Structure 1
Amino acid sequence: MPVALYAHRFSQPSRAVEILLRELDQPYEWHEVDFANGETRESWFTQRVNALQTIPAIIVPAAECDGRETEFKLGESHAILRYLCRHAPNGSAAAAWYPGAADAERTATIDLWMAWHHNHVRRYDMFHDIMNLHLTLPMLKYELQSNVLVPLQNALQPSLATLESQLSAQDGGDANTPMLCGGTQPTLADLTIACELYQIVAVGYHFDRYPRVARWLDTMAARHHFREVSAEIDDQGRTIREASGDYLDLDAFA
């Protein structure tokens, strides 16, 4: 029986989990959860799916749980990503994303960048504030840009510089784009951070000041499953670009 995935494609962590499921060729049932309108706080979700009231969340049927007689529930994207790699039917494909005990040093480096992601990239997520700007009255748009988006943009700059430096350190002159933990095979660290940053790329931001970050993001976004799962965020970004006029400072990272 397939894993049940409770998620929404406007959620960066949700997309990371869905992309990995597809990369591992693992069947799943999609359940869209309207987190923006509070569906994660409804009793059915809290009691049946995830008491933490967040997405993504998965429910693994009992038959898939190493002989367990009850289903297994799990929230928090990083925990889900690691669990999926540890229990994937295709162990070799999973090990490429997260090798576990087979390569403790590489795994530790992946864990480091996943931990770094929370306070240095996700902390400065601006996509949902951009959506608020898109929906708000014209008289408030410049105020939102100045008081909300500009501080987030400024706070994200050091993190982009850190990523640029890390990617530069991995660049041995190979024509292929290096990933955060070395080599050209992406890991869970690349996936989590790329999903986070891709949201603002979809809106129209350019990372010209950080060319290695831009190239790395382009490489991740060109992957088949990344592209398919990101289609809705691409559409939303296009809508925002076409309607926002001069309100968005799309040269913030140029």
Structure 2
Amino acid sequence: MPMTLYAHRLSQPSRAVEILARELGLEYHFHEVDFAGGETRTEWFAAINPFQTVPALVVDNEEGDEADGKKAPLQLAESQAIMIHLCRTAPDREIAQRWYPGDQDIVRCAQIDQWLAWYHGNLRRFDMFHHIMNLHMTLPMLKREIQATLLQLLQDGLKPGLATLEAHLEQHGSDHPPTLLGGEHPTIADLAMGCELYQIRAAGYRFGAYPQVAAWLSGLASRAPFRAVSEEINALGGEIQTQEGDYLAFDAFD
């Protein structure tokens, strides 16, 4: 089942999908899409994903309408839909069901779905990295203005979500790093939310006031696929910390 992942490793949802593909032992071709340079708005990409966002997945020989004797490929957008599909179709069912059990455990699925729905309005909504990059590339005279007028609002907006996540994780005392559902193994909801927050951790932000969140994030980041797919964001984050630490409020969540 050959598949191509159209993505970029500085995109949080793109990394979540690629990490999951590696966790599931799936083979894929990675096609980097320059979303910042407008490549998602080109005609060729819109034919793959009319939503014009990364990631997108194309899977050959899936069930579908036949054209010229060949089955049409599956073209799928939206990271969470892609992750659920990968878990439903991965050959290693035991591993896949740890991430998203499907019909094997509908209660656990409902809990995962709940966190995925919550994530959009409480973490993803306050994505700071676009403005961090603007601050990183702009003239020094504008850096403090970006921090005060743009980043400060997002930092403040993110805090209630972090507090909710901290309180939830604190309920699950265990000997292993915390996970959203309390078990030893994370789910695709952990992965989606973890990639979101890791983006700003890589840039230098700390979560001192949220120790359970910090431990949860460290547990995810210690997994080999997560480390491998995060190399580019870590490199960029190190550059940002070196050059912008005087302007960014790295202690915003301490």
TM-score by length of 2: 0.96
Task: Give the alignment of 1:224-239 within 5 angstroms.
Answer: 224-239=224-239
AA of the residue aligned to 1:156: L
The aligned counterpart of 2:34 is: 34
**Take 2:63 and 2:78, find their aligned partners in 1: how far apart are those partners?**
18
Identical residues among aligned pairs (%): 54
Moved over 2 A (4+): 64-68
Q: Which residue pairs with 1:131 in the alignment? A: 133
Q: Counterpart of 2:105 in 1: which secondary structure?
A: helix
State whether structure 2 residue 152 is matched by structure 1 residue 150.
Answer: yes
> Contact 2:49–2:75 (CA<8 Å) still a contact in 1?
yes
Asked if 1:13 corresponds to 2:17, the answer is no
Counterparts of 1:198 and 1:66, CA distance in 2: 37
Quote the residue 1:201 is aligned against. 201
C-alpha distance in 1, partners of 2:51/2:158? Answer: 27
- Which secondary structure does the structure 2 equivalent of 1:248 belong to? coil
- Letter of the 2:86 partner, please give it: L
For residue 59 of structure 1, what is the aligned residue in structure 2?
A: 58
Once the 2 structures are TM-superposed, how far is the Cα of residue 2 of structure 1 from its aligned partner?
2.1
Deviation at 1:67, TM superposition (A): 10
1: CA distance, partners of 2:125 / 2:30: 27
Match in the other structure for 1:186: 186
CA deviations on 1:38-67 (whole Å, 9 max, x unpaired) are 1000001112x11111110000001x4489
Task: Report the equivalent of 1:162.
Answer: 164
2: CA distance, partners of 1:70 / 1:231: 34
CA distance in 1, matches of 2:86, 2:245: 42
Task: Name the residue aligned to 1:109.
Answer: 111
SS of corresponding position for 2:4: strand
Question: Are 2:114 and 1:86 aligned?
Answer: no
Q: Distance in 1 between matches of 2:63 and 2:234?
A: 35
Read off the aligned partner of 2:149 and give its amino acid letter. Answer: N
Gaps of 5+ in 1: none
SS in structure 2 at match of 1:73: strand
Q: Distance in 2 between matches of 1:112 and 1:168?
A: 18
1:73 to 67, 72, 75: 75
TM-score (norm 1): 0.96
Residue identity in the other structure for 2:185: Q
Cα distance between partner residues in 2 of 1:6 and 1:198: 21
Other structure's SS at 2:57 match: strand
Distance 2:44 2:100 in 1: 33
Other-structure match for 1:50: 49
Distance 1:118 1:93 in 2: 26
Do 2:208 and 2:214's aligned partners in 1 also have CA atoms closer than 8 Å? yes
- Indicate the RMSD between aligned Cα atoms, in angstroms: 1.2
Residues paired across the two proteins, number: 250
**Structure 2: gaps spanning 5 or more residues:** none
Kindly state the Cα deviation for residue 175 of structure 1 after the two structures are TM-superposed.
Answer: 1.6
